[in-house]
Amino acid sequence: MHLQSKPLLISFLCGFFIFLASCTTTIEKPKFRDISFKHLPPIVFNVSQIEIVRDFQSTLLEPNVEHFFPLTPKVAIKQWLEDRVKANGSQSSIQVSILDASAEIKKLETNRDLEGLFTTEQAERIDARIEVRFDLVDDKGKLGPYTIAEAKRSRTIAEGASLYERDRIYFDLTLALMNDFNASMEQALRKYLGKYIWQ
């Protein structure tokens, strides 16, 4: 009787663990579309190359939250550079510095009395910022003219927001930020480095 109980116990435990595994729910992160600027005309410089010489590094600590974005501002900037900025020349270069591509979270005051229990308030604000610098450098390494452009955007998040809702806000914030940056940077490039751009 004792010898038969061991296989039964093993069978019971195997069945129990299979049952637990079948009850486990996998939560998939929502997928968002890839960002692209290929529908816009390229900005073609009369230089031999374009290179990123300084890259923004996130602290990965609060109040910074850009590393949680499904599309980070830094990745969006690099996609913009790849899609829109081209080199077509034999001398000099454009050096790009990504000075800022951050997003910071700030807690907002909410109503904690009885009335606040029946209303959904905005509990957090995300402040995002982009700053990028373009330098013209000759073949001897001498710095020439330069320009800087920045963009800022903010969004609020309601208390109790789901992970999907939060990711959607992050994604939309990056898109809005990049739309502003695209217009600001192109205007600055044509104003201050226009003589080096093929018309």
pLDDT at res. 117: 61
User: Mind listing the pLDDT tens digit for each residue in 60-106?
Assistant: 999 999 999 999 999 999 999 999 999 999 999 999 999 999 999 99
The answer to whether position 26 is within a domain reads no
The alpha carbon torsion through 197, 36, 146, 186 (nearest 10 deg) reads 60
Q: Output the pLDDT for position 31.
A: 79
State the total domains in the chain. Answer: 1
Assess if residue 99 is contained within a domain. yes
Q: Is residue 20 part of a domain?
A: no
Mean pLDDT on 7-29: 53
What is the per-residue pLDDT for 7?
A: 52
Would residue 161 count as lying in a domain? yes
Kindly report the average pLDDT of the chain as a whole number: 88
- Give a yes or no: residue 4 inside a domain: no
Of the pLDDT bands very low, low, confident and very high (cuts 50, 70, 90), residue 144 is very high
CA 130/CA 141 separation, integer angstroms: 26
Inside any domain, residue 170 = yes
Which long-range contacts (C-beta less than 8 Å, at least 24 apart) are formed by 181-184?
Answer: 181/77, 181/80, 181/130, 181/132, 181/149, 181/150, 181/151, 182/37, 182/40, 182/80, 182/84, 184/149, 184/150, 184/151
pLDDT score at 1: 42
Radius of gyration of the chain, Cα coordinates, nearest whole angstrom: 26
pLDDT value of residue 60: 96
pLDDT of residue 56: 97
Residue 3 belongs to some domain of the structure: no
| 169 — pLDDT class (breaks 50, 70, 90) | very high
- 147-to-81, 94, 106, 132, 153 alpha-carbon distances in Å: 15, 11, 31, 9, 21
Q: Is 66 exposed, middle or buried (0-12, 13-18, 19+ CB in 10 A)?
A: buried
In this prediction, residues 27-55 reach a mean pLDDT of: 90
Query: Cis peptide before 7, with omega less than 30 degrees from 0?
Result: no
pLDDT number for residue 28: 62
pLDDT digits (tens, 9 = 90+) for 183-193: 999 999 999 99
Query: Would you say residue 115 lies in a domain?
Result: yes
* CATH number of the domain enclosing 164: 3.30.160
- Domain region containing 117: 37-196
